[in-house]
Structure formats: structure tokens, C-alpha cells
Amino acid sequence: MTALFEVEGVKIALPDPNRKTLLGQMPMVEILHGIDLTIEEGTVVGLVGESGSGKSTLGRALVRLLEPVAGSIRFAGTDITHLDDAALRPYRRDLQVIFQDPLSALNPRLTIGTIIGRPLMLHGLAKGRREARRLAEEALDHVGLPTAFATRYPHELSGGQRQRVGIARAIATKPRFVLADEIVSGLDVSSQAQILTLLAQLKAEMKLTIVFISHDLSVVRRLCDRVVVLRHGEVLENRPTGPLFEHPEHPYTAELKAAIPLPEVDGDWLGA
């Protein structure tokens, strides 16, 4: 397989609010400590670990919402580590994000059609509002929502429907990569299953590469091809899903597996 991401020695440092000073800049704390990672095109990679392990920080670094202080990130052979906003713009359509809380991620003042259509116009994928609206309706249909939802506002939808809108917005640009950051954690069990089934279908249909961040190992086991285990900003394991769950190599991975219920479920529950 072809490597879509090549991450070498990446370190991320963020301001530490616990060490805030009255004067001067806030002290920095290193979150990621030299991450090495290769993500192959067309795969679903799960990032797991306890709260504060660096999962979301690594995900945001991949899509360059955060800039590393050391190391390099190559996307499709191009070094994007320190590109500025203007230089990153051509890559944005290929680097999409589905956020954890769809209500806060969707502008409450805009209709669903506008929320999905604006990125299409921004990236030159739609020549005007009419074409943007048509493509937005196609994206809604692709994620199983009525095209009439294009005229609605986020608060008029359920949590599961809003998350589908977030997915529609992400896939509308026909990206190569999608970061899914805890996208089912706030949903009920039924909605979770529907969203995960949809994600698996879209991965197969669009040949997407996905990084799936979750604390639910039972979901990761069913959806992901590989699993990366993080702890304190370091990679402890990076292995195919089956072998990792059958024989964890690191004690921390075994602890995670033991701490979270992993029921034996039907292998076809996500349409596999």
C-alpha cells in the first residue's frame, strides 16, 4: 500500500494553563514526544488511549490544525509540517475533520445547505450558490438524510442527524483523508451503530483514509484496520487490529482491554 501520511519525530507543545503567569507568555508543555507513524492510504487507523494521552493532539497535527515544534509530517509525499495558511489551502479539501460535538461545530445561524455548500465554493468545486446547493443535497443524500434538510438549521435536527451533517460536510469535497474525533461518544447506542455503519460504507465507497479517535475499544476493534495506542504522548503499540486485541504486547494495552467491556458481537454488525 501507498503511505498517505509519514510522520517522523513529531513533537507538539501547547500553552500550559496550570502554569499561567501574570506577565509574559504562558509556559509551554510538550504533549507529543517524538511520534513516528505511517498511515497507509485506504485504511482506518484507530487512535486509543486514556484522556490526556495525546490522541486529539496527534489528529489535529495530521490535518495541520496544530504545527509541530519538531519533526515532520508528509502528506501524499509533500512536507506540510510548517506550511502557512496560504500554502495549506490547496490541501484543505483533502484533509477533512468530523468533530465530536456537531452542535458546536455547525454554525447555528446558517442553514444545513449553506454549511455544506460554502466549503465547495471556497475550494472551487461549485461555481455558484445553485451548484453548491445541488452538491450539498447530494452529500445529504449520501449520508442518508432527506435533501429537504438543506433548508433546516442545526438546532432543528437530532444529535445523530447533526453528526450526519458533519459527515456530509466532510465528504462533500471528496477528500482523501478524514479525521473522526470521538464522533459517536455523545450519541445513544442506536445512533452510534448507524453512524459507524455509515462511516464503514463511505470508507469502502470513497476509498477514504480515516483516523478514528475513540475511547471505546469495542468500536475500534470492529471498525479499524490498525490500532495505535498512545500514552503520555508516546506510541506504545502500532499493530493490525486482530493481533493487537488477541495478544497485547504492552501491559498498558492489556489494561485498556481489561478495563473496557468488549462483548463478542456479530461480525456483520457494521456491514463488514
State what percent of residues in the chain have pLDDT above 70: 93
* Sign of the CA dihedral running 7, 54, 218, 242: positive
Mean pLDDT taken over the chain: 90
Q: CB of 181 within 8 A of CB of 201?
A: no
E-strand ranges in 93-225 read 95-98, 177-181, 209-213
Report the relative pairing of strands 177-181 and 209-213 from DSSP bridges: parallel
Smallest CA-to-CA distance from 133 within 124, 143, 144, 120 is with 120
Long-range CB contacts (within 8 A, 24+) of 238-242: 238/37, 241/46
Query: For domain 1-94+178-183+209-272, which CATH number applies: 3.50.50.60, 3.40.50.300, 3.40.1360.10, 3.40.50.2300?
Result: 3.40.50.300
- Beta strands in 59-118, from DSSP E residues, in sequence order: 70-75, 78-79, 95-98
pLDDT at residue 266, as a whole number: 52
Total residues found in the chain within this entry: 272
Q: What is the pLDDT of residues 215-263, one digit of tens each?
A: 888 889 888 999 999 999 999 999 999 999 999 999 999 988 887 665 5
Instruction: Summarize the confidence of residues 179-185 as an average pLDDT.
Output: 90
pLDDT at 104: 87
Is it the case that residue 264 has pLDDT exceeding 80?
Answer: no
Q: How confident is residue 271, by pLDDT bands cut at 50, 70 and 90?
A: very low
Q: Which residue has the higher pLDDT, 230 or 192?
A: 230
Nearest to 143 by CA among 189, 95, 102, 186: 102
Is beta strand 70-75 parallel, antiparallel or unpaired with respect to 177-181? Answer: unpaired
Q: Write down the domain spans for the chain.
A: 1-94+178-183+209-272
pLDDT of residue 82: 96
The number of helices, as runs of H, and strands, as runs of E, in the chain is 10, 10
pLDDT tens digits along 31-88: 999 999 999 999 999 999 988 899 999 999 999 999 999 999 999 999 999 999 999 9
**Local confidence band at 18 (pLDDT 50, 70, 90 cut-offs):** confident
Mean pLDDT of 172-193: 89
Give the helix/strand (H/E) hosting 143: none
Phi, psi of 88 (to 5 degrees): -80, -20
Band the pLDDT of 90: cuts 50, 70, 90.
very high
- Place 144 in a pLDDT band, splitting at 50, 70 and 90: very high
- pLDDT at site 262: 52
The whole-number pLDDT of residue 137 equals 96
Other beta carbons less than 10 A from residue 145's beta carbon:
20
- Residue 31 pLDDT: 95
- What pTM was estimated for this model as a whole? 0.90
pLDDT confidence of 27, banded at 50, 70, 90?
confident
